[in-house]
Amino acid sequence: MMEGLKIKRVSKTLNGIRIVDDVTATFLPGRITALIGPNGAGKTTLFHLITGELKADSGEIVYKGDDISKLKPYIIARRGVGRLFQDVRVFDNLTVFDNVASACFDQEVESPWYPFVKCSHLKRKIREIKDVIYSYLNFVGLSDMDNIYAGALSYGQQKLLAIARLLAGGYSLLLLDEPTAGLNPVMIKKVLEILERIVEEDKGKTIILVEHNMSAVTEVADWVYFMNEGKIAFFGRTDHVLGDKEVREIYLGM
Amino acid sequence: MNYILHLLIMIGIYLVLSYGLNLVVGFGGLLSLCYAVFYGIGAYASTLLMVKVGISFIPAVLLGIVIAAIFAFLIGVPALRFRGDSFVLVTLGIQMIVFTILYNWVDLTRGPYGIPGIPRPVVAGYEITSLYEYLILVGVILLFSLSVLFILYNAPFGLALKALRDDEMAAEGLGKSPVHMFLYAFVISAVFASTAGSLYAAYVTYIDPTSFTLDESIFLLAILLVGGAGNRIGPFVGTVFMILLPEALRFLGLPDTVAPNVRQMIYGLTLIVLMFLRPQGLAGEYRVK
């Protein structure tokens, strides 16, 4: 049974402010669900709670049947939860190639003894992932910059790199915090296309999209959660939510 | 000639140290001020094992490594809960504690009296006595150390450390455990410090705690800051520069009465100017923060 991500009555208070307030939501695999709402609504904090950067004060976060709300961030990542950060967070002092490569090895390969006890495996693995890395770099149009330090790229390029790194990680749940912000229209189109392709090709994958770009949301998301002041204010089909009077007043300014 | 051989031996020992520390400072991005602790533990452990227990050089070095690794683990577990300035201060505290123990536990270490008459190393039944032989011993151990470390630098292990250094939150989001990776780096670097310590003790045949002070830890860190951390050439440039510069200043022909002080000042001034001109180090690509 495909269970996806279930958030059950999760709350979080930071500095006396209830940033996430009794949120219950389900994100099903095989589809892109958007999470929209005004700045400060708690969307990014909800992402922090899912990835374990913050711990919920109460409630459960269940992914593939397990409560992950008490786990450490790196363990949650190993369970298949990957994230695109709002502030990109590429590794500035690594090359473009190494940035993507850093997502390709599991903990066994990254152990210090692996190159000594499994030398030939490692060589083969590095050969294999090279093609994978270049296919993702090609996809985002950065393959001819493979040797440049990521810190030297423009913001838009860093975002593309972060997307390539995330895709290379092979995660089953993708949390995307404003993936199209700062990209040009051609790249936006490409990124949205790959998101649709991901869920089409693998029905086990779940994508949650935080976005302020409503045309992107209508294009790829079938379902939308609207968040306001820490609460889920509205959930439904994209056209229903975006057509709602309250949503239009609070968020879209119409 | 003996003078040059001596310098080469010292450079060899310091290369083992700086390339080992590079794993923590350059790859991990953690400014450790207690590296001399593991240098000292290696020197004392192998010396005491040779002098008091009577085992020979190679087993003493290997046991010294085990002891230093255990200490690194015990120190690393609490210290690596901290980052940035806090980590620097915690390692400073550790450095002070261990020095005080070495200095005051007279029954074990003879404290300030030091341990004289450390036996010369015997390798495969052959006693090493001349400077040439020492240089070969240091060279062999250096080559072995570098081949192990360079494999680690290039392996996914090194890449994961650099990723954690650049952005811990993003790297953890890719499934890398900061605690485990930093602890591995900390313990592995201590292994090389300990090896260098044993070599040093067997070379000078006398040790006392003043060789393993905070000054020494700062000097080792300065090697990496000057040469450049996080790559394969920086520690070499830094070690050669930091060891040869004070020696070169001896030949300035300064009047004897002020020479040592002026040399120290030129040395300090050079470091300051260098940080202005090359904040990432002479051969560095990454600027340690």
Q: Which of B144, B148, B154, B166 to mutate to test the interface with A (most CBs of A within 10 A)?
A: B166
Q: Where are the domains of chain A?
A: 1-80+172-254, 90-170
Q: Where are the domains of chain B?
A: 2-214
Q: Which has the minimum average pLDDT: A5-19, A44-58, B118-132?
A: B118-132
Give the H/E segment covering residue B58: helix B57-79
Query: CA separation (Å) from B76 to B34, B43, B180, B265?
Result: 11, 20, 10, 35
- The reply to whether B162 touches chain A by the CB within 8 Å rule is yes
Q: Which tokens sit at B278?
A: 């090359």
The per-residue pLDDT for A156 is: 87
| pLDDT band, residue A223 (cuts 50/70/90) | very high
| pLDDT band, residue A251 (cuts 50/70/90) | confident
- Which of B157, B170, B178 is closest, CB to CB, to A112? B157
Encode pLDDT of A151-208 as tens digits.
Answer: 999 988 999 999 999 999 999 999 999 999 888 898 899 889 888 988 888 888 999 9
- Which of A53, A91, A105 is closest, CB to CB, to B167? A91
pLDDT at A2 over 80: no
- The reply to whether B160 touches chain A by the CB within 8 Å rule is yes
Q: Which of A85, A102, A159 to mutate to test the interface with B (most CBs of B within 10 A)?
A: A102
Q: Which of residues 27-66 of B touch A (CB under 8 A)?
A: none
pLDDT at A105 over 70: yes
Rg for chain A, CA atoms, rounded: 19
Q: Which has the minimum average pLDDT: A73-77, B178-182, B226-230?
A: B226-230
CATH class for the region spanning A1-80+172-254: alpha beta
Q: What is the ipTM of this complex?
A: 0.91
- The reply to whether B184 touches chain A by the CB within 8 Å rule is yes
Encode pLDDT of B56-104 as tens digits.
Answer: 999 999 999 999 999 999 999 999 999 989 999 999 999 999 999 999 9
Q: Parallel, antiparallel, or unpaired: how do β-strands A223-228 and A231-237 relate?
A: antiparallel
Inter-chain CB proximity B169 and A89 less than 8 Å: yes
Encode pLDDT of B202-245 as tens digits.
Answer: 999 999 999 999 999 999 999 999 898 889 999 999 999 999 98
DSSP notation for B201-222: HHHHS-B-GGGGSHHHHHHHHH
- Which of A74, A122, A169 is closest, CB to CB, to B172? A74
Mean residue pLDDT of chain B comes to 92
The per-residue pLDDT for B289 is: 65
Mean pLDDT of B117-143: 92
Rg for chain B, CA atoms, rounded: 19
The per-residue pLDDT for B253 is: 77
| pLDDT band, residue A92 (cuts 50/70/90) | very high
The per-residue pLDDT for A249 is: 84
User: Within 13 A of A61's CA, how many CA atoms are on the CB side?
Assistant: 22
Give dist(CA B21, CA A155) in Å, integer.
Answer: 34
Sequence-separated (6 or more) residues with CB below 8 Å from residue B22: B149, B153, B189, B224, B229, B230, B234, B235
By the 10 Å C-beta count (0-12 exposed, 13-18 middle, 19+ buried), A117 is classed as exposed
| pLDDT band, residue B254 (cuts 50/70/90) | confident
pLDDT at A1 over 60: no
